[in-house]
Structure 1
Amino acid sequence: MKTILRIRPRLSFLPQQPHRHIASRIAARHLTSGNYRVPAPFNEPNLHYAPGSPERQQLAEAVATLKQRLPVRVPAQGGRAAGDSQGEAVSTYLPSDHQVKFSEYGCVSEADVTKAIDAALQAKKVWQDMTFHDRASIFLRAADLVSGKYRFELIAATMLGQGKNPWQAEIDAAAELADFFRYNVSFAQEIYDRQPTVNSPSHHGRTDWRPLEGFVYSVSPFNFTAIGGNLVSAPALMGNAVLWKPAPMTAYSSWIVHQILLEAGLPEGVVQLVNGDAKLITETAMAHREFSALSFIGSSDVFRSLWAQAATNVAQNKYRDFPRMAGETSGKNFHLLHPSADTVNAAKHTVRASFEYAGQKCSACSRVYVPESQAPVFFEQMKKELARLKVGPAEVSTAFTGPVIDKKAFDKITKLMDSAEQDDRLTTIAGGTYDGSVGYFIDPTIYVSNTPDHPLFDTELFGPVLTAYVYPDNDFDSVLDLVDQQGGGFALTGNIFANDQTAIRKAENRLRYAAGNFYVNCKITAAVIGQQSFGGARGSGTCDKAGSSGLLLRFTAPRTLKEEYGKLDEVLYPSNFDA
């Protein structure tokens, strides 16, 4: 496996002040750069890792090489070299084998966080004045590094550290990450192109799409390597400075992403990657007067607490700005079958949506509503498909469902499963079993509830557990209300399986606020950037839609300008004169 080389970008920053010759060079570039157009984005083609394929062999080699290096040492700050722990080291372990240490990452102190923020703000002084074309080129170059030079290294890190099988790691750490970098460039171009189209004679109006005046604090989750890349690229591309706190299990994969950005030419200091105690980092960041935005992916409860913390600081006038709060959080997502549905197709989609990556996607299906006439076929097909699936370590190519991420998640899910097995309101259709002796493995599990108001329809588990309700065919209309009311107050993803167009239209209308991403006759996972932007409302977040210009807009502070070319001849208006 190739080792990432630290290549110092051509634009580097000192903590004290930006280089004057760099600033003057950028100013000169503004005079000569013209009106460049960025290239059209495209979705990164997926590799499929079929037996005997070259990519399967390359990935196997990358995984084997990474295993030989375990535990990998990750610095407390992303700009440092691997092995430079800085502070007390914290260990993470393989989800598939909790006796094997995967990484040791250093921890920043409160002083380190403050210095990182100050350095980012200093770097921003030059970064925000760089032409958009130059900033875009860095992220487009990073996309090619992700899809080429570092593809298998990133995928191997995601497989081992986050428990994803080759396909799930491919669509995340390679394809989606590259897509975010490329499409965010086009979304930024879309925003910069938004200029006034109407001007009065001798008047000229325009919009200056300024970055936020302070810094953006980005917090990324364990389940997607690509999300961290998006939480960084969206604000940075618009000229912002970013403090990035990744989840512990992604410390190594996030460090690789950061190194790729530096190799692509991102000036040091613009993105400050910090590892360590989440509470310490967050409190330090959000207590800073220059805190201008939170970009967060994680649980709804945590996001609410951070919002409350920011609101308290706003009330006490601790910030210069009113900070932006952008979040994509929890979900209790649904599949809904109409009596006219292709039931076999719906069952296949439901298996993928519920049990790929052990149900640890924000968009995963965890509740399903099945008409009584279709229930026997639906559950029989589900059991048929589950009989073909294997549960096992991510690096075993035949494993469809891998481990859940850690002991905390395993204990939470299995405790509920133990309770469910004793619940006379529930019938176990499949699974209900687990084994944590080596890795955190939970078998795909389906419960059917004989009551429509079971707590499982509202409880987010973030694991491979699906709860079903079988409804009388004639109750479809009332089930629409049930679907809308349940789900723990979340509204992330949902769908309808039907061949009756009237039923499809009715579901789309009645469930308009039940899901930020709504699908017809397909599973509710795997939104593709550029094709389906992603994000929910209600308790699932701020619906800013990652994979769209909407998210990037949150990190701008637009200034409107007006220029007049004529002279004012008279102060009084015609109505001020007497006849």
Structure 2
Amino acid sequence: MAASAPPKSVVINAKEISIPTGLFINNEFVKALGGKTFEVENPATGKVLLSIEEGQAEDVDLAVKAARKAFDGGWADSDPAWRASLLHRLADLMEKNRDEMLAVEMVDSGKPLNQASTVDLPASIGTLRYYASWADKVYGRTAATVPGTFTYTVREPIGVCGQIIPWNFPLMMFVWKIAPALATGNTIVMKSAESTPLSALKMCELIREAGFPAGTVNLVSGFGPTVGAAIANHMDIDKVAFTGSTATGRVILKAAASSNLKKVTLELGGKSPNIVFPDADLQKAVDWSVLGIDFHAGQVCHAGTRIYVHEDIYDAFLAAFTKKMASIKVGSIFSSETDQGPQINRSQYDKILGYIDIGKKEGATLHLGGNPVSKDGGYFIEPTIFTDVTPEMKIVKEEIFGPVVVIAKFKSEDEVIVAANDTSYGLAAGVHTNDYQRALRITKKLRAGTTWVNMFNFLHWSMPFGGYKESGIGRELGGEALDNYTQVKSVFFNMGIPTPTHTSFVA
């Protein structure tokens, strides 16, 4: 085993907080075998917070061996009630360490206090408790359909699961991945995003304190081409779950196919439409649509980046929407008055500003914003609205992942359905109307895994989340997520079938 890696103290909002710096393998924080480290930056200031260990393929191998030993050594067959108690204990520890968890999540991802404290932390705790309650309810079925036999099915854990999470929701994505996997008896080798590894490291500290057996959860911090590729290609990983870009999802799917044909689930990109009909409650539609684009500075895969407004109310909606967007407070993540924090890093900041330039060059009207915001050296961008857009423009077609929205008029239901579905993505969509027959009609026609009526950007751990088309494979959350981490075995007991002949076997 590699040498131990000590934690480091970081001052966050005038409070000193200890953060692990090692890879988490077999319940120990250890140094990377290759001797490399990498720096972690605070996106709100652009300054380095600390350096942590950088994993490589050989570290993934160690983590997989630890996970396999834990799986075969009893975790897979452990009492589900015990697994549930550990998940509840982990949730208890998150509540006990609330202030530290919030502070780390905020400087890790750039989330403002009012978002991290009301969404990310409570939703993560709720998800853990939800899957704890599932642990002893993963049932098979009995079948009386085969004469002369007693037959039944059991749902068993898949095995060692590789999990690769994104940078936009580092705490919540960590929990979304581990909770259903652990509840069903799997073990984990996790890769956090290189931009946001700190929340995952703090969670591993709590996992050990909660009493999870060594090797049950392992975390190898590092980069996609090394750690991510090693997980996707590893011959002793039975399943890989990835959340991130569609382009990376394709790479992982190919790697899984060319290695051991491991099971794959993917939650990928989006370019979600948000449709406002003339009978909608105008202010309500405006408020939800602003939340739909500006939550976490637009760095949300299901953000409502394309708003289609009926021509009869277009001017009124645009005026009210513009007023609301202009009132958004961009600034310190520790202020309770801040609505929007920074983009995650310089690369993403430059990419978003590049798309804004493309939008202007393609002939769209920059209706609001579009400029950098000077705040403490961080990566802040004004909330931005484009109007006078056409379907072929890049800002209409491509995922920007920033506080940039396009607004277009429509005349008829048929027209807007075509426009809404004119995308390779299919993650989410919204409809605003007080005609519920229309709402049912439209949601049925939208090619998206989640559709909202008179709201947007609202998820719950009890409801499945995932995409149509190039937005992914499989579902996170809800009971459906358990299907990702279990496999079905059929069992036949002979209860009187005589000695077999070639005619007694049915294939």
TM > 0.5 fold call: yes
Is 1:284 the counterpart of 2:217 in the alignment? no
CA shift, 1:203, in A, is 4.1
Query: 1:455-474 maps to which residues of 2 (within 5 A)?
Result: 455-471=394-410, 473=411
Question: Equivalent pairs: percent with the same residue?
Answer: 25
2:461 corresponds to: 529
CA distance in 2, matches of 1:468, 1:281: 40
- State which of 508, 512, 515 in structure 1 corresponds to 2:443: 508
- Name the aligned partner's letter for residue 556 of structure 1: T
User: What is aligned with 1:557?
Assistant: 487
Contact 1:160 1:395 in 2 (8 A): no
Q: Shift of residue 185 of structure 1? A: 2.8
Question: C-alpha offsets along residues 443-473 of structure 1, whole Å, 9 cap, x if unaligned?
Answer: 10010124344332211000000011112x3
Counterparts of 1:358-377 in structure 2 under 5 Å? 358-377=297-316
Which structure 2 residues correspond to residues 111-510 of structure 1 after superposition, within 5 A?
111-125=58-72, 126-146=74-94, 148-190=95-137, 192-196=138-142, 198=144, 203-213=149-159, 215-224=160-169, 225-313=171-259, 319=260, 322-424=261-363, 426-435=364-373, 438-471=377-410, 473=411, 475-486=412-423, 489-510=424-445
* Shift in CA distance, 565/110, structure 1 to aligned 2, threshold 3 Å: same
What residue number does 2:8 align with?
Answer: none
1:188 is displaced (CA, Å) by: 4.1
Q: Which among 453, 459, 465 is matched to residue 520 of structure 1?
A: 453
- Deviation readout 1:19-62 (Å, 9 max, x if unpaired): xxxxxxxxxxxxxxxxxxxxxxxxxxxxxxxxxxxxxxxxxxx9
Tell me the equivalent position of 2:5: none
CA offsets 1:378-432 (integer angstroms, 9 cap, x no match): 11111221233210121122110110000010000001212323443x1222111
Distance 1:480 1:110 in 2: 46
Equivalent position SS for 1:249:
coil
Structure 1 contact 154–173 (Cα < 8 Å) conserved:
no
Instruction: Answer yes or no: is the 8 Å Cα contact 1:188–1:549 preserved in 2.
Output: no
Pair 1:171–1:187, CA change in 2 (3 A):
farther
**Secondary structure in 2 matching 1:549:** coil
| Greater Cα shift, 123-132 or 294-303 | 123-132
Aligned partners of 1:120 and 1:272 also within 8 Å:
yes
* Structure 1 residues 330 and 82, CA gap change in structure 2 (3 angstroms): same
Say whether 1:107 aligns with 2:54.
Answer: yes
- The equivalent of 2:478 in structure 1 is 548
Unaligned runs of 5+ in 2: 3-10
Q: Secondary structure, in 3 states, of the residue corresponding to 1:518?
A: strand
Partner SS for 2:488 = strand
- CA drift at 1:170: 2.1
CA distance 1:106–1:347, shift in 2 (3 Å): same
Alpha-carbon separation, structure 2, partners of 1:516 and 1:194: 27
Q: Output the CA distance in 2 between the equivalents of 1:455 and 1:174.
A: 35
Deviations 1:191-249 (A, max 9, x none): x2232254668743232322224x21100111111111221222222222211000123
The amino acid of 1:351's aligned partner reads V
C-alpha distance in structure 2 between counterparts of 1:228 and 1:334, whole Å: 27
The residue type paired with residue 538 of structure 1 is K
The answer to whether the Cα contact below 8 Å between 1:79 and 1:273 also exists between their aligned partners in 2 is no
Instruction: Report the AA paired with residue 394 of structure 1.
Output: I
Structure 1: which 5+ residue stretches go unaligned? 1-13, 16-61, 314-318, 575-579
User: For each residue in 1:310-337, what CA deviation from the matched residue of structure 2 results, as whole angstroms up to 9, or x when unmatched?
Assistant: 2223xxxxx2xx3111010101011101
CA contact (8 A) 2:326 2:383 kept: no
Q: Cα distance 1:65–1:563, how it changes in 2: closer, same or farther (>3 A)?
A: farther
Distance 2:296 2:232 in 1: 33
Q: Quote the residue 1:3 is aligned against.
A: none
TM-score normalised by the chain length of structure 1? 0.80
* TM-score (ref. length: structure 2): 0.90
- The Cα RMSD (Å) is 2.6
Deviates more, 1:346-355 or 1:170-179: 170-179
Cα 1:567/1:301, change in 2 over 3 Å = closer
In structure 2, do the counterparts of structure 1 residues 197 and 81 end up closer, same or farther at CA, with 3 Å as the change threshold? closer
Whole-Å separation in 2 of the counterparts to 1:394 and 1:400: 9
8 A contact 1:90–1:105 mirrored in 2: yes
One-letter amino acid matched to 2:434: N
Per mean C-alpha deviation after superposition, the further-off stretch among 444-453 and 345-354 is 444-453
Which digits, 9 at most, give the CA deviation of each residue in 1:67-122, with x for residues without a partner? Answer: x459x552133667679676222112111111x22231101233222122112111
3-state SS of paired residue (1:182): helix
Distance 1:283 1:385 in 2: 43
Match among 20, 27, 43 for residue 95 of structure 1: 43
Offset of residue 257 of structure 1 = 1.1
How many equivalent pairs are there? 493
Structure 1 residues 521-578: Cα deviation after superposition (integer angstroms, max 9, x where no partner): 111x130112x32111211111x2211222221222221212244574997999xxxx
Are the structure 2 counterparts of residues 569 and 323 from structure 1 closer, same or farther at C-alpha, using a change threshold of 3 Å?
Answer: closer
CA distance in 2, matches of 1:173, 1:79: 27
Change beyond 3 A, Cα 1:307–1:478: same
Mark the CA change 1:476 to 1:573 in structure 2 (over 3 Å): closer, same or farther. Answer: closer
**Partners of 2:252 and 2:32 in 1: CA distance:** 28
Give the Cα–Cα distance (whole angstroms) in 1 for the partners of residues 335 and 189 of structure 2: 36
| Whole-angstrom distance in 2 between the partners of 1:375 and 1:449 | 12
**Counterpart contact for 1:96–1:394, Cα < 8 Å:** yes
Q: Look at both structures and tell me which one has the larger radius of gyration over its CA atoms.
A: 1
Do residues 77 (structure 1) and 8 (structure 2) align?
no
- Asked whether the 8 Å contact 2:276–2:285 carries over to 1, the reply is yes
Distance 1:164 1:375, change over 3 A: same
Indicate if the aligned counterparts of 2:331 and 2:341 stay in contact, CA closer than 8 A: yes
In the other structure, the counterpart of 1:48 is: none
1:577 aligned residue:
none
Q: Which moved more, 1:224-233 or 1:559-568?
A: 559-568
- Alignment CA distance shift 1:178-1:73 (3 Å): closer
Matching residue's letter, 2:176? N
Measured in 2, the distance between the counterparts of 1:569 and 1:278 equals 56
CA contact (8 A) 1:76 1:275 kept: yes
